[in-house]
Amino acid sequence: MSIVVATTSPGFGRHGRLPQLLEETGWEIIRCTDTALPDGGLSQHIGRADFLVAGLVPVNAATIKDAPRLKAVLKHGVGVDNVDIPACTTKGYPVTSTPGANSNAVAELAVGMMFSMARNIPYGHMNVISGGWDRKPGTEISGKVLGIVGLGNIGKLLARKAIALGMTVVASDLYPDQAFITEHGIEIVELDTLLARSDYVSLHIFGGTGNTALIGAEKLSLMKPSACLLNLARGEVVDNDALASALSQDRLRGAAIDAFVTEPPDVSHPLFKLPNVVFTPHSGADSLEALENVGLMVISDIKDFIAGRRPPRVLNPEVYDR
């Protein structure tokens, strides 16, 4: 019987060396990525799957209740807030992710977003192609303060890039890497202090109940009117109603958003009518290099499971004690 791999991640196995590598495995790949269905069509195929490569579709007790062949859940990415790890543990399914594989891609997009807002790039583009020639002055990145909320793999890479661009970096993190912050001269501050001091605030934290609407009206009021907010984390981390209000009343200069509560988002929301917001379709990790790296890690982990080995990235090792 051939190995069946179901995936809800549109990018899994499609880039670089991955198509050839997957073909060589002989695995059957079932793509559950139908955007017209809430689960991408996963419920129609989970009963046949030996492995589930998860994208952003939630994986919970209901998702995996009728999966008699399932052996593991592998997140195609880093954030596992959409995977109910305790439910997987109860069923005896190891869960893995791919830490660090797409960090540089996300950090580079954050830098691009800062430049985009600083130099009014979306406005300039639209102005020129509509026949205009409005040379709207922007600002320079060098000399500005970047506040990074979450100094993990992505936050660290972004910090190094920002420092190289002449920015001052402050960060908020529950468990900061002391050696890293000392080496790079980064100041660790409380979130409120970071918001008040920063010209750019970039979010790199997990979603979930603890961080839902973390950046709401009260936190936004602490930011400078000249500051910009970047959300490359999860949609629920920012209260978009409060953000739209702050932006429309010139209490905040701009925002760049890559993650949304519902994807694709409801573009009737007032946020999408504002000229000082840059949007991307949750594509922070979507560089060809990152997609190849993530896929290679997932394939390696599946091969370990098949061979009876424990992959090095298992997030719930207690399943092996059962």
Residues annotated as catalytic (active site), given as ranges: 234, 263, 282
Q: Is the separation of the CB atoms in 107 and 157 below 8 Å?
A: yes
Q: 3-class DSSP state for residue 321? A: helix
What are the phi and psi torsion angles at 133 (to 5°)? -155, 55
Query: Which DSSP helix (H) or strand (E) runs through 96?
Result: strand 95-96
Q: Is 195:221 a contact under the CB 8 Å cutoff?
A: no
Instruction: Report whether 33 contacts 57 (CB < 8 A).
Output: no
SS3 assignment, position 74: strand
H-helix or E-strand containing 296?
A: helix 288-306
What is the enclosing helix (H) or strand (E) of 187? strand 187-188
The helix or strand, by DSSP H or E, that contains position 18, with its residue range, turns out to be helix 18-25
Q: 92: which residues sit within 8 A by CB, 6+ positions away? A: 319, 322
Task: Please give the Cα distance from 111 to 165 (Å, whole number).
Answer: 10
Q: Report helix, strand or coil for 145.
A: strand
Three-state DSSP class for 309?
coil
* Measured distance CA(212)–CA(214) in Å, rounded: 5
Q: Contact at 8 Å (CB) between 114 and 140?
A: no
* Helix, strand or coil, per DSSP, at residue 238: strand
Token readout for 1 is 């019987």
AA identity, residue 144: K
Residue carrying structure tokens 């799957």:
49
Q: In the numeric block, which tokens belong to residue 279?
A: 């949007």
